[in-house]
Structure 1
Amino acid sequence: MTPTVGELVAWLGRWSAGRGPLYLLLAARIRQLIDEGLLPPGAPLPPDRRLAAALSVGRTTVVAAYETLRQEGRLVRRQGSGTRVAPAALAPPGPRVTETSNPMFLHLLDPTPDDVILLSCAAPPSPPRELAEAYAGLVLPTSDLGYHPAGLPALREAVARRYEERGVPTSAAQILVTTGAQQAIGLLTRLLVAPGDGVLVEAPTYPGALELFREAAAVPYPVAVGPDGLDVAEAARLMEHHRPALAYVVPHLHNPTGTVLPPLPGRRLVAAAEAYGVPLIEDEVLSELAFDDRPGPPPLSSYGTEVVGVGSLSKAVWGGLRIGWVRGPAPLVARLARLKALHDLGSDVPAQLVAVRLLGSFAPLVRARVAELRAGHDLLRAELRRRLPSWSVPPATGGQTLWVGLPYGDGVSFAQVALRHGVAVLPGSTMDALGGSTRMLRLHFLLPGDVLSQAVCRLAEAWEEYAPGPEVRPGSRPAALNALTV
């Protein structure tokens, strides 16, 4: 359907209601129309001047909004043919990978064919035995309405004990139970971020968080992640000069690079956030999945009282167990609980009861999960080094993924080729608000060994098509690159 200017204005509604620059508010509303399918792929949008006149705003507002959406990949602007919704803005028939239509979410919403191996969505492929046993022994309360916006008291206490065991004094009043970590980050975004607000993020970072911040029409302030984690000095400088609405970091077993922020930089980061009044969100979802048995760095919340932690059972147990939490100052948790009550009146009670039981004997379950992860990591890395020796495949110290570098080309275009060969991978640029990581791929190692081996076989076939010629050995350079640099 192609709307007229009048119809589009009606669909936009009260798009300018909110805080922040008008162009970001306009871009946010058009983005919503695209994502909801009201503006389908290929649909033309009005010329800048016509839409500006219809909305009673300056032309620069419309131009800037269109340009924002063009950079996200949602619009295409060409001289002589106007502005149109990009073909990839919604998932087209058949699998496709784009920089801004995150493959991790596209595969969940529009599943790929059964013969495609998904290395793009890092989640345990099946529930463990302990989860089935916990559900089998479930006893529902006999006198309980079932509405607990902040979470079941027993589960809030169990999560608080986990923090106590890690050296972070915590009360149940500081815990909000959520429907997974994604809802936790979403609630924090809705509470703390208005359109046009700045958000400090790592580059690269967890793509689900970037999608939430983009949906909130936030302005990202990306800070590079190096071998030792976040560049804390640059993060402090950004907080001092821009005072973002929040800072979102994954300090331990960073997603996707796997880096671990050492304790001293962690202290400095917390001190900077407190000094400049920036809420610091610590994503702890992967923090317990270290391959080394030695204790890792303590949570950032051990360095300051204002740090907000986000955790989940989805990686250690199963993605289908939608139990997450927020750990933060009690007043903030109370505000989040009121906001959550507007949406779902509380997370699933049977799942929360099961989570209480699992957390009661969590250490053996985590050890078993880590053993599986370590075996998958070693197998996938060995297969990649054997079949694709020119790729950079550094080892991970934990977590669920490898951060793999291509010797040349870019991850998005290679992902398209890989998908034709029956394997879906996550391009690094989908996770990097700096616009970097273009030659990187994130590959998970959660599948059975024979499936991982088959996936690497397909990746090798895709690479042969993408970069024809003999496989480049480490330390050598493709002839095409030599020709360009002579």
Structure 2
Amino acid sequence: MRTNLDELTVRLGRWSSGRGPLYLLLAMRIRALIDDGELSPGSPLPPERVLARRLAVGRGTVVAAYDQLQQEGKVVRRQGSGTRVAAAALPATRTPAGTAANPLLLHLLDLPDDVVLLSCVAPDEPPPALVEAYTEATADLAEIRHDIGYHPAGHPVLREALAAYYRARGVPTSPGEILVTNGAQQALTLLASVFLSPGDTVLTEAPTYPGALEPFREAAARFRTASDAAEFGAALAERPALGYLIPTGHNPTGSVMPALVRRHLAALAAEHDVPVIDDEVPAELCFSGEPPAPLCAFHPGEQLITVGSLSKIVWGGLRVGWIRAAPPAISRLARLRAIHDLGGDVLSQLAAARLLARIGELRRERTAVLRRRHDHLLAELARALPAWRVEPALGGQTVWVRLPHGDADAFAQVALRHRVAIPPGRSFDPSGGHGDFLRLPFLFPEPELSAAVGLLAAAWHEYDGSGRSRALQPLVL
């Protein structure tokens, strides 16, 4: 079981020959050995000082590498017993409870100083419409009688408003098919708890939204990834426990799935009896106007589940999301929700109902701003970083950028030295692929986007050009 130091040194090979900080290069190589099965579950890794001496690096480099692997759930570290490869009982992609391996979540939990955050995508200030909605909701609140305020499935006013929202989009919906949640993240967590058991398989796109992967990892699920809709549809025949898609304003690529593909996937989900989550959180940010129909519009069965929220079109601080699903699933979810918090804040739900009545107005205002900023970002990238490849988005808030060479994880570390935080591609792929991609948002005003691109260009010059990156000590956010 013990990992022989000489054998490990051979397996590491030319681990330090890449670009970027040494600790990250070392972590990447050990991660690859674990994922390939060359380091078996439970086997110990050499003590930090011993491995550092053998590799002729500082002890801090090994410490930082082990810390990175611990955050990813690849190794377990305990005082007195050293560092070991994570046990096989936990999938390699699972994060230990209470730990956020996702760099996007780490930035929220420990906000860095003086760093331009290109890692989190949500409006950075509440719009006037939200203030107006709360003012109106306060008056509504004053009229409430004989109501203790606990509504695990959501306040009746908002449930009806959401049902009407879907009916207006051509999907017959009753309030009994709606569960209100504290944001879409809670919706995904509840769904993972209901539909997944340890070892179950979740089918996702690759790349996909990293925030969705965390609840699936917490449920000890295993991942099956699909590179496109055709592969996703074919994989449904393997009968995974759950599927997860972002058809409209895809995060991170900004793509929009055609109606014929939606119809086909909806039929396959029903045929193979696989529950599929349609994440519509970015759907109202479709540049072409009104969002396309959700997957549930194409098949009346119980397999299609829709998740939404107002965080992207209004403000992230408005913690109101929802699930649209068949009544039996809503009942199960509501019982689970009651265990957690008995229901959400009533005033926020009343405000959300008011905002849904203005959804068209909010959509037009928001997408006009985002489209303009999208075009500005692409122009700046073409000017300052012409070797970077980027496809224009059709909606959402981000573009998916491919580096001409190198590793996005290593480049992200260099970018941090230039005071800009970017999420590398592997964060969006549970299989660990897309190492040469990164995601960029176009949320900020044009001058801020130009400044951010300038920082990225300087970082790329250091990483790639005459200012070739030297061995850098890790910057802890």
- Picking from 278, 281, 286, the partner of 1:282 is 278
1:157-207 per-residue CA deviation (whole Å, 9 max, x = no partner) reads: 101111111100000100000000011011010001000011111111010
Q: For 1:140-155, what aligned pairs fall within 5 Å after superposition?
A: 140=141, 141-155=144-158
- Picking from 178, 183, 189, the partner of 2:181 is 178
**Which residue does 1:97 correspond to in 2?**
none
**Which residue does 1:249 correspond to in 2?**
245
Q: For 1:76-91, what aligned pairs fall within 5 Å after superposition?
A: none
Deviation, structure 1 residue 257? 1.2
**Which residue does 1:216 correspond to in 2?**
219
Q: Is 1:304 the counterpart of 2:303 in the alignment?
A: no
Report the more deviating stretch, 100-109 or 169-178: 100-109
The one-letter code matched in structure 1 to 2:107 is H
The one-letter code matched in structure 1 to 2:135 is A
**Which residue does 1:104 correspond to in 2?**
104
Question: CA distance change for structure 1 residues 211 and 73 in 2, over 3 Å: closer, same or farther?
Answer: closer
Q: What secondary structure is seen at the aligned counterpart in 2 of 1:183? A: helix
5+ unaligned residues in a row in structure 1: which ranges? 1-24, 49-60, 75-88, 91-99, 472-486
2:94 and 2:220 in contact (8 A); partners too: no
Q: What secondary structure is seen at the aligned counterpart in 1 of 2:285? A: coil
The one-letter code matched in structure 2 to 1:64 is A
**Which residue does 2:453 correspond to in 1?**
456
2:256 and 2:395 in contact (8 A); partners too: no
1:264-318 per-residue CA deviation (whole Å, 9 max, x = no partner) reads: 222221111111111111001111111123x453211011122110000000000
Question: CA distance change for structure 1 residues 256 and 276 in 2, over 3 Å: closer, same or farther?
Answer: same
Q: Distance in 2 between matches of 1:44 and 1:253?
A: 48
2:201 and 2:242 in contact (8 A); partners too: yes
Deviation, structure 1 residue 238? 2.3
**Which residue does 1:162 correspond to in 2?**
165
Report the more deviating stretch, 442-451 or 148-157: 442-451
Q: What secondary structure is seen at the aligned counterpart in 1 of 2:283? A: coil
Q: What secondary structure is seen at the aligned counterpart in 1 of 2:223? A: strand
1:192 and 1:246 in contact (8 A); partners too: yes
**Which residue does 1:325 correspond to in 2?**
322
Question: CA distance change for structure 1 residues 394 and 167 in 2, over 3 Å: closer, same or farther?
Answer: same
The TM-score with structure 1 as length reference comes to 0.76
Q: Share of identical aligned residues, percent?
A: 52
- Picking from 416, 420, 436, the partner of 1:439 is 436
Q: Distance in 2 between matches of 1:248 and 1:459?
A: 32
Q: Distance in 2 between matches of 1:370 and 1:120?
A: 20
The one-letter code matched in structure 2 to 1:375 is R
- Picking from 83, 88, 91, the partner of 1:64 is 88
Q: Distance in 1 between matches of 2:410 and 2:83?
A: 31
Q: Distance in 2 between matches of 1:430 and 1:388?
A: 22
1:308-340 per-residue CA deviation (whole Å, 9 max, x = no partner) reads: 100000000000000000001011111100110
Q: For 1:466-477, what aligned pairs fall within 5 Å after superposition?
A: 466-469=463-466
5+ unaligned residues in a row in structure 2: which ranges? 1-40, 43-66, 469-477
Q: Distance in 2 between matches of 1:43 and 1:407?
A: 42
The TM-score with structure 2 as length reference comes to 0.78
Q: Distance in 1 between matches of 2:154 and 2:366?
A: 26
The one-letter code matched in structure 2 to 1:128 is P
1:340-359 per-residue CA deviation (whole Å, 9 max, x = no partner) reads: 00000001111001001111
- Picking from 355, 358, 364, the partner of 1:367 is 364
Q: For 1:318-467, what aligned pairs fall within 5 Å after superposition?
A: 318-467=315-464
1:385 and 1:393 in contact (8 A); partners too: no
The one-letter code matched in structure 1 to 2:124 is P
Deviation, structure 1 residue 411? 1.0
2:77 and 2:83 in contact (8 A); partners too: no
Report the more deviating stretch, 103-112 or 130-139: 130-139
Moved over 4 A (4+): 39-48, 71-74
**Which residue does 1:125 correspond to in 2?**
124
Deviation, structure 1 residue 251? 1.2
1:233-256 per-residue CA deviation (whole Å, 9 max, x = no partner) reads: x32332223x21111111122111
Q: What secondary structure is seen at the aligned counterpart in 2 of 1:426? A: coil
Deviation, structure 1 residue 220? 0.5
The one-letter code matched in structure 1 to 2:319 is R
Q: What secondary structure is seen at the aligned counterpart in 1 of 2:361? A: helix
Question: CA distance change for structure 1 residues 189 and 327 in 2, over 3 Å: closer, same or farther?
Answer: same
Q: What secondary structure is seen at the aligned counterpart in 1 of 2:284? A: coil
Deviation, structure 1 residue 136? 2.5
**Which residue does 2:46 correspond to in 1?**
none
